[in-house]
Amino acid sequence: MNFTVNGKQVTIEALPGEMLSDLLRERLRLTGTKIGCNEAECGACTVLVDGEPVLSCTYPSAKAEGKSILTIEGLAKVSGDALHPLQQAFIEHGAVQCGYCIPGQIMTAYALLQHNPEPDSQEIRRALKDTLCRCAGYPTIERAILDAAQVARRGGRLRGPQVAEAGGSEKVVGKLRPRPDAVEKVTGAAMFTDDLHFPGMLHARVKRAGVPHAIVKRIDTSRARALPGVAAVLTAADIPGEHYHGLVIYDWPSLVGVGERVRYVGDAVAIVAAETRQIATQALELIEVDYELQPVVSNAVQALSPEAPQLHERGNLLKHIKVRKGDVQQGFEQSEIILEHTFHTPSTDHAFLEPECCIARPLLEASGAEKMRMEIYVGSQIPYADREQVARALGWPVERVRVIGQLMGGGFGGKEDIAGQVHAALLANATGRPVKLLFDRHESLVVHPKRHATQIRVKMGARRDGRLVAVETELFGDTGAYASLGEKVLTRATTHSSGPYEMPHAKADCYAMYTNNPPAGAFRGFGVTQSAFAIESMMDMLAHELNLDPVELRRRNALRVGSITNTGQELRESVGLMECIERVDAEMRRLAGGDPFAPRPAPGNPHKVRAWGFAAAYKNTGLGGGAPDKAGAEVELFANGELEVRTSSAELGQGLVTVLQLIVAEEMNVPPSQVRVLVMDTDLTPDGGPTTASRQTFVTGNAARHAAQALREAIATTLAEKYDLPPQQIRFVEGLAQVNGHSIPLGQVVQLMQAEGRQPRAAYEYWAPKTNPLGQGGDMHFAFSFAVQAAEVEVDRRSGEVRVLRVIAANDVGKAINPLGLQGQVEGGVMMGLGNALTEHFIVEEGRIFTDRLARYRIPSITQTPEIISFVVQHPVAAGPYGAKGVGEIVSIPTTPAITNAIYHATGVRIDRLPVDQEQIATALKSGVAGQVGGD
């Protein structure tokens, strides 16, 4: 058949079963078109066919006959410039984060502008309805398209982003700076793991148990092995090294062997490598496994009962976590009002748009020695942990494994655990060939750890004036089949379960339980998302009972400098909670006037009612709890005057690369464009630790800052010696070293340093301030971020449907090092919180997953995006770089309770189980159970 792609004539025969995306990506190697779901849900694969956007993942390639196809790679050419205005606008506005959805966003937007050169916001939202972005930069995407449209119509320049700089004396830190990887992400040149191809590469697939709890009685792989094209079929018996992996506890079997226990449907029993993915898939069906089914443990409460089947040798209790402050019994006796309520939150999925992919590539060492090395190409949040776990499985020293981190299409905590890394390495080791293991969306949903489902009981005692006296919480957390980071996540849920408030008496008990559900681990918010929903709902219930303004109640109890937290930590600095409360409250009352919490009819619709809701939160920065928290970074100067900063810390779209670039540029006083950033390579970059706990700006930011300072001093020393001056007299200005009135380009110093036997680079290992384990009092964390959000909702009183109209957010981040990236975090955080409240529900029934397709697991779309008004509050923390603390999680935590509190104010229906069920609202309103709002 004949067709054109990006203006070029192509003659090629369509293959049976081939989709247009397969043809473009696999045979024409146009990998700018991405596959997010392969089920026509996410829009990442959008290309234009005869000018109209279509989903190439479900468009048979045979239909391309005679058609003209435009992909992201051809867009710039169409405009005749280096970049199309849309591409330029996406870069400048900061609409590009992880970048995985961006080709689809831009192509869809381009088609819109072809038909409608002057779209308004509504038209943009209609056009982009099904083009999903999980970083959820929807408001910025919309602004970028509006800006690009006016340039496309009138020419001239983009208006650019309307984002405030951080202020302060720094030259580049706190200023607006596009991401260093933005250009490649808007042109389709950016390579993610699945875009890589190596000669001789095999394709792997994994045989999953498909049963939630069983003993494996027999595995027969002989028929699969005999299938032509199959290179290897491995089972547990073939693992040369350790059989178990894990991040804290090694309890997760890489493969479940005969006689061993299957603990969830995603457990692996065999792995296959074959010449094609199709053959590998076919081989899976030829593998025979016999199971002896076992009774299923399906939730955390059941798991704790003595009759429950025991899933691990140590039992079902992963950890009983305790927080104690004062004496709650005494506190309740002193209370004038006591409330008690139980809340439920479901499991949810990260739904990063790039499904997991890993390539393991065996290499003979350059010396010609017998010992092979293994390269692992993967988008991982913890490259050094991957290296260790792969090496353990192979039975090798870690030095023989090199993890080469790739661009990551989102992570959100879901790419911390091992996905395909161990399996790909085992197969590459067995075959001596590179092996790619790609999860499809179905496998991604089934296998990787989720957000913990919880049951949280809150008992709260207060005085009539609203002062909290005692808070007691009891949490059950479902960590699923394996520990992953369950203990850490649920510790955070527990320590944060009495909210960002001070009270004399607090007691919390959490039972972190193993079940036969998919493992639960890290997910943005790290347990605090769940407990914040419970405590912030409870605060509103208390305000209602006391007839107090919900904002005033929070003011009276808010943590401030000098407060003692429930774990016994005195907050000595950087507590911006009160300012967040005041900023949001003022804006909310400016917009709502009068009483924002009173229900108001929606204009023009007698059935719809509106109201605001309010919620506060805090979240630790860094690992805390006594864990050593350190990061390494290295900065090198090159002869061309460029600098490179290196660390293994992960870039998953959140913007660490920009942060590091700005920090090094600031310290070296060079333009940011002169600083390259290399991350996530265990051979080339020092260990930055896990990218989790909102810690990288703080720890790796500090490491990069210190490394840059050390390099600057080394340069100054070199020049001081050469010119015989005190080093303090050497100044660094705009990429030049100024010595005695002479300006020396920094690049020239490289030679000087080398001539003296100095390396033009400096490394620094930064150790964050020491913390104490839970239970010992003192500093459990070295910093906390604070946030307040108010949400305005509109509820249809007949159908119970909920829309979020506006969200006001204030985040105390210490210092906004990268304001453009911060904007993306704030908007994306709000949207993820909105999804957590309204759309997301990972459903597991008796250990079997119902939501095993993206079609059944909905994440928010641009059409659900409220107006988001953001205030950046900066209460610096002394040890943070330029005062900065964590950002990534706090931005998302208050959204859910702000929305559910608003629903209560609008309708009188209290949501105590997520996600919000419109049917429950409608039923309650119809039956008259709720609805008498604001009356008492």
Partner 1 sequence: MTIWQHYHLAKSIEDALQALAAAQGPARVIAGGTDLLLDLEQGRHSPVDTLVDVSAIPEMAELEQRADELFIGAAVPLRRVVQSELVGRHAAALQEAAGLIGGPQVRNTATLGGNVGHALPAADGAIALLALGAEAEIASLSGRRRAPMQALYSGPGRSALSHKEEILVGFYLPLRAEGEGSAFRRVMRPQGVAIAILNMGVWVQRRQETIQAARIAIGPAGPIPFRARAAEQLLAGRPYETALLPRVVEAILGEARFRTSPHRSSADYRRHMCGVLLEDTLNAAWERAALQHEMSR
Span interacting with partner 1, options 129-137, 178-186, 618-626, 760-768, rule CB under 8 A: 129-137
* 841 token code pair: 């529900």
Cα-only R_g, the chain: 28
127 touches partner 1 (CB under 8 A): yes
Q: Which is nearer to partner 1, 107 or 424 (CB)?
A: 107
* 206 token code pair: 């994994």
Q: What's the CA gap between 322 and 507, in Å, rounded? A: 7
Say if residues 613 and 790 touch (Cβ distance below 8 Å): yes
Span interacting with partner 1, options 247-255, 464-472, 514-522, 846-854, rule CB under 8 A: 846-854
> Considering CB under 8 A, how many residues would be counted as binding partner 1?
55
340 beta partners? 459
* 795 token code pair: 């509820």
Q: What's the CA gap between 46 and 525, in Å, rounded? A: 31
Q: Which is nearer to partner 1, 58 or 772 (CB)?
A: 58
Q: What's the CA gap between 271 and 287, in Å, rounded? A: 10
Shortest Å distance, C-beta 843 to partner 1: 6
Q: Which is nearer to partner 1, 60 or 641 (CB)?
A: 60
- Report which residue type is found at 347: S
H or E segment and range at residue 89: helix 85-93
Using the structure block, give the residue that is written with the tokens 């005195």: 570
Shortest Å distance, C-beta 457 to partner 1: 25
Q: Which is nearer to partner 1, 60 or 160 (CB)?
A: 60
Q: Which is nearer to partner 1, 463 or 853 (CB)?
A: 853
CB neighbourhood size of 9 (10 A): 8
Span interacting with partner 1, options 53-61, 193-201, 218-226, 698-706, rule CB under 8 A: 53-61
Q: Which of 187, 565, 700, 864 binds partner 1 (CB under 8 A)?
A: 864
Longest dimension (CA), the chain: 88
171 touches partner 1 (CB under 8 A): no
Site residues (CB under 8 A) for partner 1, limited to 261-290: 278-279, 281-282
Q: Which is nearer to partner 1, 104 or 212 (CB)?
A: 104
Q: Which is nearer to partner 1, 125 or 261 (CB)?
A: 125
Q: Is 429 helix (H, G, I), strand (E, B) or coil?
A: helix
Shortest Å distance, C-beta 350 to partner 1: 17
843 touches partner 1 (CB under 8 A): yes
Query: Residues near 833 by Cβ (< 8 Å), separated by ≥ 6?
Result: 529, 789, 892, 893, 894, 895, 896, 898, 899
Q: What's the CA gap between 71 and 78, in Å, rounded? A: 11
55 touches partner 1 (CB under 8 A): yes
Q: Which of 6, 24, 25, 43 binds partner 1 (CB under 8 A)?
A: 43
H or E segment and range at residue 707: helix 696-723
Say if residues 817 and 173 touch (Cβ distance below 8 Å): yes
Q: What's the CA gap between 28 and 162, in Å, rounded? A: 40
What's the start-to-end Cα distance of the chain, in Å?
A: 73
801 touches partner 1 (CB under 8 A): yes
Say if residues 747 and 639 touch (Cβ distance below 8 Å): yes
Q: Which of 12, 26, 63, 710 binds partner 1 (CB under 8 A)?
A: 63
Q: Which is nearer to partner 1, 285 or 734 (CB)?
A: 285
**630-637 and 761-767 as β-strands: parallel, antiparallel, unpaired?**
antiparallel
226 touches partner 1 (CB under 8 A): no
Shortest Å distance, C-beta 896 to partner 1: 14
237 touches partner 1 (CB under 8 A): no
Say if residues 816 and 655 touch (Cβ distance below 8 Å): no
Q: Which is nearer to partner 1, 65 or 340 (CB)?
A: 65
Q: Among 809, 831, 826, which Cα is nearest to 887's?
A: 826
Using the structure block, give the residue that is written with the tokens 């000595």: 572
Shortest Å distance, C-beta 821 to partner 1: 28
126 touches partner 1 (CB under 8 A): yes
Q: Which of 790, 838, 898, 906 binds partner 1 (CB under 8 A)?
A: 838
Shortest Å distance, C-beta 306 to partner 1: 31
Q: What's the CA gap between 511 and 385, in Å, rounded? A: 27
Q: What's the CA gap between 302 and 702, in Å, rounded? A: 45
Span interacting with partner 1, options 45-53, 416-424, 469-477, 494-502, rule CB under 8 A: 45-53
Shortest Å distance, C-beta 230 to partner 1: 13
Q: Which of 23, 54, 817, 890 binds partner 1 (CB under 8 A)?
A: 54
723 touches partner 1 (CB under 8 A): no
Q: Which is nearer to partner 1, 585 or 840 (CB)?
A: 840
Q: Which is nearer to partner 1, 239 or 916 (CB)?
A: 916
77 touches partner 1 (CB under 8 A): no
4 touches partner 1 (CB under 8 A): no
| DSSP 8-class letter at 135 | S
Shortest Å distance, C-beta 185 to partner 1: 21
Say if residues 257 and 236 touch (Cβ distance below 8 Å): yes
895 touches partner 1 (CB under 8 A): no
- Report which residue type is found at 270: A
Q: Among 99, 91, 36, 43, which Cα is nearest to 654's?
A: 99
Shortest Å distance, C-beta 203 to partner 1: 13
The sign one gets for the Cα dihedral 66, 68, 69, 74 is positive
Q: Which of 363, 586, 855, 878 binds partner 1 (CB under 8 A)?
A: 855
Mask 518-557, x = binds partner 1 (CB under 8 A)? ----------------------------------------
Q: Which is nearer to partner 1, 233 or 425 (CB)?
A: 233
Give the DSSP per-residue string, 163-187. -----SS-SSTTS----TTHHHHHH
871 beta partners? 810
Q: Which of 2, 259, 798, 878 binds partner 1 (CB under 8 A)?
A: 798
- Outline where 724-803 has alpha helix (H): 746-755
Q: Which of 26, 130, 388, 681 binds partner 1 (CB under 8 A)?
A: 130
930 touches partner 1 (CB under 8 A): no
Q: Which of 681, 799, 805, 913 binds partner 1 (CB under 8 A)?
A: 799
922 touches partner 1 (CB under 8 A): yes
Say if residues 924 and 909 touch (Cβ distance below 8 Å): yes
CA distances from 557 to 463, 467, 547 (A): 11, 6, 16
Q: Which of 307, 370, 919, 936 binds partner 1 (CB under 8 A)?
A: 919
Q: Three-class SS string for 114-130? A: HHCCCCCHHHHHHHCCC
Shortest Å distance, C-beta 14 to partner 1: 7
58 touches partner 1 (CB under 8 A): yes
Q: Which is nearer to partner 1, 131 or 299 (CB)?
A: 131
* 100 token code pair: 């995985």
Number of alpha carbons in the 13 Å side-chain half-sphere of residue 674: 24
Q: What's the CA gap between 472 and 527, in Å, rounded? A: 17
923 touches partner 1 (CB under 8 A): yes
27 touches partner 1 (CB under 8 A): no
H or E segment and range at residue 788: strand 784-796
Q: Is 251 helix (H, G, I), strand (E, B) or coil?
A: coil
Q: Which is nearer to partner 1, 227 or 684 (CB)?
A: 227
59 touches partner 1 (CB under 8 A): yes
Span interacting with partner 1, options 290-298, 358-366, 715-723, 857-865, rule CB under 8 A: 857-865
Q: Which residues bind partner 1 (CB under 8 A)?
A: 14-18, 38-40, 43, 46, 49, 52-55, 58-60, 62-63, 65, 108, 126-127, 129-131, 278-279, 281-282, 442, 798-799, 801-802, 838-841, 843, 850-851, 853, 855-858, 864, 915, 918-919, 922-923, 926
